[in-house]
Amino acid sequence: MPKQKATWPTALFVAFATGLRPIELQWGVQIRSMADLGLMCIHIPTAKHNAFQGQPWRSLWFDKKDMDLSPGHACWPKPLFRQYVALHFGKQTCPYDLRRNFASQLHKNGYCHQTIALALGHDGLGSLKHYLQDPQWLLNCLPIHIEAGLAPVIQPSAFRRRSSSFRPALTSMGVRSRPMANCSKI
């Protein structure tokens, strides 16, 4: 990825740096700045969340000097985003290639599988193998903290997950967080 992030559309930069789904970008993300701590937070309401899968939200924290964006709520139309991806990465590149690249870069930089799945909005490790490939583009910034909200699981007894799950017990609610010590790059 070229270092000229200022000339890139903000949507493309956010998607490239966070691995969010195109629909999540369309629905909107919250960009927060904690200038006194030197941190930027991108809060993503998760698109694939229901009683059987996913997390209701996730937040990725970055060093402000790596990612200096204007705070606020931002959203972009999906067709326009697809055009930006094709323009900057080539006609054969789709928005999910940025998501796969994000996961692969985290893996290459020593993040554990549970942390990568948490950053992608997954609640288990079952589909992670589809994302871990050889990274195509270098990431200029890596998250220093990743957290995700957890929702109660209301699953019928006949429903059996095929993968390990990060879901809490039925009575549990709250936040599952990967502390900064669990991220390899600080």
Q: Which residues contact 137 (CB under 8 A, 6 or more apart)?
A: 1, 16, 89, 101
Q: How confident is the model at residue 152 (pLDDT cuts 50, 70, 90)?
A: low
Q: Considering the domain 5-182 in this protein, what is its CATH number?
A: 1.10.443
Comparing 43-52, 84-93, 159-168, the range with the smallest average pLDDT is: 159-168
Going by C-alpha positions, the residue among 98, 88, 100, 105 that lies closest to residue 131 is 100
Lowest mean pLDDT among 15-29, 73-87, 93-107: 73-87
Helix, strand, coil tally for the chain in percent (to 5): 30, 20, 50
The residue among 116, 94, 142, 119 whose CA lies nearest residue 44 is: 119
- DSSP tag of 150: E
- Three-state DSSP at 151 gives coil
What mean pLDDT comes out for the span 84-105? Answer: 89
Please report, for the chain, the start and end positions of each structural domain, with discontinuous segments joined by +: 5-182
- The reported pTM is 0.76
Closest CA to 10 of 66, 99, 81, 82: 81
Tell me the pLDDT band of 8, cut-offs 50, 70 and 90. Answer: low
pLDDT number for residue 107: 92
> Is a pLDDT exceeding 90 seen at residue 103?
yes
Residue 121 is encoded by which pair of tokens?
């909005």
Which positions ≥6 away from 164 have C-beta within 8 Å? Answer: 124, 125, 126
pLDDT for res 154: 53
Average pLDDT over residues 49-55: 70
CA-CA-CA-CA dihedral for 48, 24, 145, 8, to nearest 10: 150
Is the confidence at residue 182, as pLDDT, over 70?
Answer: no
* Secondary structure element (H or E) that encloses residue 62, with its range: strand 57-63
In which element (H, E) is residue 85 found?
helix 78-89
pLDDT (average), residues 151-167: 48
Task: Decide: residue 183, CB within 10 A, 0-12 exposed, 13-18 middle, 19+ buried.
Answer: buried
Q: Model confidence at 94, in pLDDT bands (50, 70, 90)?
A: confident
Residue found under tokens 């890596």: 142
pLDDT in tens, 116-138: 988 998 877 778 888 888 888 88
Q: State the amino acid at position 49 in one-letter form.
A: H
